[in-house]
Amino acid sequence: MTTHLLVQYRHVCVRAVLDGAGFPGLILLTTMMGFGALAGLAGFSLPMSIAATVLIWGLPGQLAMLELWVGGAGLMASVVACSLANARFLLLTVSFLPLLRAGPQGKIALIGFAQLLSLNSWTMCQRRFPDVAESLRWLYFVCFALTIILFAIVGTVAGFYGASQLPGVVTIGLLFLNPLFFALVFAGVRQRYAVFALIIGAVLGAITYFLIPDWSLILTGLVGGSIAFWITEKRTDD
């Protein structure tokens, strides 16, 4: 395994852009095409569709907003639906921002980091950060996030103009990229507590979604995460 420590600004930026322009970019392109197409059907203009992608920057919320709005639920209900579908960002920022401690810590920087964060960058950074010098991790994150936002915007525009008319088989293959990529990126995570949390979370996520879909994510996180934490702390004590 090659684990160079990325210590130069330029190398970190290039690595981040290349990482972003691979599968993550393709995933954002594909999924945001879906969003762009639906937004167009819902009566959004192109600038509105792009603004939704950039400002909300979380597909589950974007889709929930559209679904409720198209269903005639009204402004407030649609906004609340978006917010609830994106509630995961609370946990993602809490667990992610401390990893950028060696970078800029001003108010504006932190707000910017929080706004750029998405599930893709959270995941990719967990895998890549061990290779990156601590003081430059924020740079890797920002370059990666900006790269995939670019892909997301292109996807939104393409979907808005009806470019999502790919053959069914190709679309399905592209959609499956998403979970596969995440699964394999996680396969490379090495910290012991993370490995336990991932395995327990995957099992629990499937079971709870089947039994109590509405509370599945919260329960999976709290229960699965706590079990993983407890196991790891116990083992470290030995």
Partner 1 sequence: MTDVTLWYLVIGSGLATMAWRYSGALFAASINVDTPFYRWISCVSYAMVAGLVARMILMPNGELAGVPLWIRLLATAAAFLIYALAGQRVFAGVLAGVTTLIIAIA
- Among positions 42-61, residues that touch partner 1 (CB under 8 A) are 43-45, 48, 51-52, 55-58, 61
Show the tokens assigned to 61. Answer: 């919320």
Query: Which residues in the 98-157 window bind partner 1 by CB under 8 A?
Result: 98-99, 101, 110-111, 113-115, 117, 119, 122-123
Span from 3-11, 137-145, 149-157, 229-237 in contact with partner 1 (CB under 8 A): 229-237
* 95 near partner 1 (CB under 8 A): yes
Span from 10-18, 136-144, 151-159, 174-182 in contact with partner 1 (CB under 8 A): 174-182
Show the tokens assigned to 83. Answer: 């917010």
CA gap 205, 214 in Å, rounded: 12
* 162 near partner 1 (CB under 8 A): no
Phi-psi region of 44 (alpha: psi -120 to 50; beta: other; left: phi over 0): beta
Total residues interacting with partner 1, rule: CB under 8 A: 100
> Shortest Cβ distance from residue 133 to partner 1 (Å)?
16
Q: Which residues contact 10 (CB under 8 A, 6 or more apart)?
A: none
Q: H helices of the chain, where?
A: 9-20, 23-41, 46-56, 59-70, 75-85, 88-96, 107-116, 119-128, 137-160, 168-187, 192-211, 216-219, 225-237
Query: Which residues in the 202-221 window bind partner 1 by CB under 8 A?
Result: 202-206, 208-210, 216-218, 220-221
